Amino acid sequence: MRHYLDHAATTPLRPEARDAWLAASETIGNASSTHGAGQDARRLLEESRERIAAVLDADPIEIVFTSGGTESINLALQGMWRSRPTSADAIVLPDAEHHATMDTVAALAEEGAVVRSVGVTESAAIDMRAFVAALPGAAFATALVANNEAGTLNDAAALASASAASEVPLHLDAVAALGHVPLSFRRLRSDAAPGVGLVAMSVAGHKIGAPVGVGALVAARSARLTALLRGGAQQRGLRAGTQDVAGAAAFATAVELAETEREDEAGRLSALRDRLVDGIRSAVPAAELLGDPVRRLPGNAHVLFPGAVGESLLFLLDVAGVAASTGSACQAGVAEPSHVVMAMGRTERDARSVLRFSLGRTTTDADVDAVLATIADAYLRASGSSAGARS
């Protein structure tokens, strides 16, 4: 039996979202066509957009469907960079962002962007004083709502307020936060100065039980973005191409269910996570929970296992039927230390000795029990292989 504790990478498809996708896929017609079949598809598409907007507290027109979080982030960052005032050449980038953001900014740096790095605390929270100091005159800023590895929650309202005060556009990466913390685009957005403060927020469907391949960028009406894809005027001209009606319907269903369950699930997952962490510490006294102990995602346990190679530990757990992660799934299979852990001030050795257990709606006590039944032996063996590799 497999015990799946890698929901932060992707969470199982919800049956309701699958059913919504199958039902919507029976709709005939392109949503951009003017005939009856096309308008039927358009009606379903726009209803899905309205449902998602209602959960995220945004205007329906602000929901731009994408293929997922990575595309949403690229549309926001590249779009803001290419539509910036010519006098602005700086990008404000915290050190512990997701690679979708970091790699995009690195590519923009090759085009002339000046990167203003912002440090994070030892718990992976964005240093607000450093963030505020980096803002003046920047082309835009970007920040995580919740760190995808350490699980630490940032103060999204403070980030948005600071950006608005400095008249700098802000993008929030809410991919890891969606379904776990309340997200109100309207409340975070500044209406006093259109085009600055929070102007875009990225979300992805497969993190909450929608199919892989659908996401959205919430782009304020006042957002100045240059499109990545051209060839049509769909979605305010921000994302050309035939729109995925079935994916939108499935995403809307998953978003609504996640929001309905959110508070109860937060309590359940927090209790399971705490039992997992306490059990790991009992079995492996040297183990250390990283990230903020309180302000964190309810299902996240980011654990340092000193002296063990994370990849070896991951393999041993997998053999025992437990699926976890050494960090972001986008970097899975790449033997490199976690940049998040190093940004927290830890050593490279520590950054190679972490595991992320992420719990979700299908996680049970049996899954936690499976980890606790094997972690001590796995740590002992992984520590031995680590010692052997260094000798």
* Half-sphere exposure at residue 170, Cβ-oriented, CA atoms within 13 angstroms: 31
Return mean pLDDT, the chain.
Answer: 94
Per-residue pLDDT of 153-177, as tens digits, reads 999 999 999 999 999 999 999 999 9
- For residue 335, what pLDDT band results from cuts at 50, 70 and 90? low
Under a CB-based contact definition with an 8 Å cutoff, are residues 218 and 72 in contact? no
Q: What is the pLDDT of residue 389?
A: 43
Q: Cite the residue boundaries of each domain of the chain with CATH code 3.40.640.10.
A: 15-255
Higher pLDDT, 36 or 6: 6
pLDDT in tens, 228-281: 998 888 999 999 999 999 999 999 999 999 999 999 999 999 999 999 999 999
How confident is the model over 92-106, as a mean pLDDT?
Answer: 98
- pLDDT, mean of residues 323-342: 77
Residue type, position 9, single letter: A
Q: Is the pTM of this model over 0.75?
A: yes
Q: Report residue 391's pLDDT band, with 50, 70 and 90 as the boundaries.
A: very low
Token pair belonging to 38: 């096309």
Strands of 43-177 (E only): list them. Answer: 63-66, 90-94, 114-118, 140-144, 169-173
Integer Cα distance of 80 and 33 in angstroms: 30
The CATH class that applies to domain 15-255 reads alpha beta
* Strands annotated E in 265-372: 288-290, 300-304, 322-323, 354-358
Nearest CA among 289, 280, 290, 300 for reference residue 377: 280
**Average pLDDT value for residue range 345-363:** 97
Instruction: Say which residue, 384 or 43, is predicted with more confidence.
Output: 43
Q: What DSSP designation does 235 have?
A: G
Catalytic residue list: 330
pLDDT per residue as tens digits for the range 279-318? 999 999 999 999 999 999 999 999 999 999 999 999 999 9
Report pLDDT digits (tens) over 55-65. Answer: 999 999 999 99
Q: Give the pair of three-digit tokens for residue 390.
A: 């260094």
Task: Report how far apart, in Å, the C-alpha atoms of 329 and of each of 9, 68, 214, 378 are.
Answer: 5, 14, 17, 22
Average pLDDT over residues 95-119: 97
- Residue 333 has what pLDDT? 54
**CATH no., domain 3-9+261-390:** 3.90.1150.10
Separation of alpha carbons 106 and 118, rounded Å? 15
As given in the structure block, the two tokens for residue 200 are 């875009």
How far apart CA 79 and CA 228 sit, in angstroms, is 7
Contact 200/76 with Cβ under 8 angstroms? yes
- Tokens standing for 193? 């100065």
pLDDT of residue 194: 80
Q: How confident is the model at residue 328 (pLDDT cuts 50, 70, 90)?
A: low
pLDDT for the residue 193: 76
Q: What angle do CA 341, 267, 331 make, to 5 degrees?
A: 30
Largest CA distance in the chain: 72
Residue 35 has φ and ψ, to the nearest 5°, of -75, 175
Q: What's the pLDDT tens digit per position in 174-233? A: 999 999 999 999 999 976 678 889 999 999 999 999 999 999 999 999 999 999 998 888
pLDDT (0 to 100) of residue 58: 97
> Is a pLDDT exceeding 50 seen at residue 388?
no
Cβ contacts of 389 within 8 Å, gap of 6 or more: 309
Which amino acid is located at 184 in the chain?
S
CATH 3.90.1150.10 residue ranges in the chain?
3-9+261-390
Q: How confident is the model at residue 385 (pLDDT cuts 50, 70, 90)?
A: low
Q: Which residue has the tokens 């790991």?
A: 280
Measured between alpha carbons, how far is 159 from 240 in angstroms, rounded to an integer?
A: 30
Q: What integer is the mean pLDDT of 28-42?
A: 90
